[in-house]
């Protein structure tokens, strides 16, 4: 059995889209597949993570385990089963 | 809200260190189960990835590691601080637009180019700014960890 289940940490600002949950389960072998999975089950969620070109939104950071996917293979970063994925919006201002 | 003197000193020192760019960092609090920010425990002085005198972005990797550190200590991230280099410590339109966390305390120090900059704190919810009065207290000294 090839179980690719992982846990995805949802930031406060996106929790209304997932029924208020802090962590949700997902399946997929890459970050792109994980986003497609959770986006398919929670309307509006994928649009908060990806831009109109389907790439990672500039103001959203995704970590696989302890690593920022921008320093790995972006949305094509492999996700080993059991890994924790963290979605972290940029903290910014002026 | 009470804010430990050491946290104020760290925020001002970091703002001066970052000058002439804006300095920024995150705050962590104890968790009381209600989700409310109380009992400020830590100021993480982090890198402004934007490297600008008028904008800041908390470096994402440092944000993530601060979150992990806070959780390992039984705290949670509860706010963000940054400096205004030449203006009063009041949220700018950019600050309001970037305020995504309704339960976070938004602390601003400024202007950094004077002898004694002010520290002010705000809640920013649905675009509305509400000031949270701060009372500086002498923080408790945590026992040193021993191995």
Q: What is the DSSP string of B67-106?
A: HHHHHHTTEEEEEEEEE-SSS-SS--HHHHHH---TTSEE
Q: Which residue of B has its CA nearest to A14?
A: B100
A vs B, Cβ pairs < 8 A, gives 62
Lookup: tokens for B46: 């982090």
Contact criterion met (CB < 8 Å) for B57 and A68: no
B94 Cα to chain A: minimum distance (Å): 5
**Would an 8 Å CB–CB cutoff place A12 in contact with chain B?**
yes
Q: Which of B60, B79, B112 to mutate to test the interface with A (most CBs of A within 10 A)?
A: B60
- What letters, b where the CB count within 10 A reaches 16 and e where it falls short, cover B41-56? bbbbbbbbbbeebebb
What is the pTM (predicted TM-score) of this model? Answer: 0.90
**For residues A94 and B146, which has the higher predicted lDDT (pLDDT)?**
A94
Residue B38 pLDDT exceeds 90: no
- Residues from B contacting A (CB-CB < 8 Å) are 22, 24, 26, 50, 54-58, 60-61, 63-64, 67-68, 80, 82, 91-95, 97-103, 106
Pairing of strands B128-132, B118-125: antiparallel
* % chain A with pLDDT above 70: 97
Nearest CB partner across the interface for A93, out of B64, B94, B103 = B94
Contact criterion met (CB < 8 Å) for B60 and A94: no
A89 Cα to chain B: minimum distance (Å): 8
Tell me the helices (H) and strands (E) count for chain B, helix number first: 3, 9
Averaged confidence pLDDT in chain B: 92
A60 Cα to chain B: minimum distance (Å): 9
**Dist. CA A27–CA A81, nearest whole Å:** 8
pLDDT of residue A20: 95
Helix (H) or strand (E) holding A35: helix A31-41
Give the model confidence (pLDDT) of B13-25 as tens digits: 999 999 999 999 9
Residue B113: band (very low, low, confident or very high) from pLDDT cuts 50, 70, 90: confident
Q: Which residue of A has its CA nearest to B35?
A: A12
pLDDT of residue A1: 42
Residues from chain A contacting residue B56 (CB–CB below 8 Å): 92-94
Contact criterion met (CB < 8 Å) for A93 and B99: yes
Residue A13 pLDDT exceeds 50: yes
Whether the Cβ atoms of residue B27 and residue B7 lie closer than 8 Å to each other: yes
Pairing of strands A60-64, B128-132: unpaired
Give the model confidence (pLDDT) of A19-61 as tens digits: 999 999 999 999 999 999 999 999 999 999 999 999 999 999 9
**Strand, helix or coil at B107?**
strand
Among candidates B108, B100, B107, which has minimal Cα distance to B125? B100
């Amino acid at each position: 059995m090839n179980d690719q289940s992982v846990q995805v940490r949802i930031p406060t600002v996106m929790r209304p889209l997932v029924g208020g949950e802090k962590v949700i389960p997902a399946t997929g072998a890459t970050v792109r597949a994980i986003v497609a999975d959770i986006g398919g089950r929670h309307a509006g969620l994928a649009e908060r993570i990806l831009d109109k070109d389907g790439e990672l939104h500039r103001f959203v950071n995704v970590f696989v385990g302890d690593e920022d996917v921008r320093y790995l293979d972006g949305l094509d970063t492999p996700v080993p089963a059991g890994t924790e994925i963290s979605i972290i919006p940029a903290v910014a201002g002026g | 809200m009470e804010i430990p003197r050491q946290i104020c000193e760290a925020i001002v020192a970091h703002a001066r260190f970052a000058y002439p760019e804006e300095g920024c960092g995150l705050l962590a609090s104890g968790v009381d189960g209600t989700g409310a920010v109380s009992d400020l425990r830590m100021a993480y002085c982090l890198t402004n990835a934007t490297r600008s005198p008028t904008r800041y972005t908390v470096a994402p990797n440092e944000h993530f590691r601060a979150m992990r550190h806070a959780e390992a200590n039984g705290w949670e991230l509860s706010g963000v601080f940054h400096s205004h280099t030449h203006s009063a410590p009041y949220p700018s339109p950019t600050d309001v637009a970037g305020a995504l966390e309704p339960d976070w305390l938004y602390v601003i120090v400024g202007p950094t180019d004077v002898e004694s900059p002010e520290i002010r704190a705000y809640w920013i919810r649905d675009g509305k700014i509400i000031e949270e009065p701060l009372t500086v207290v002498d923080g408790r000294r945590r026992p040193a960890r021993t191995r």
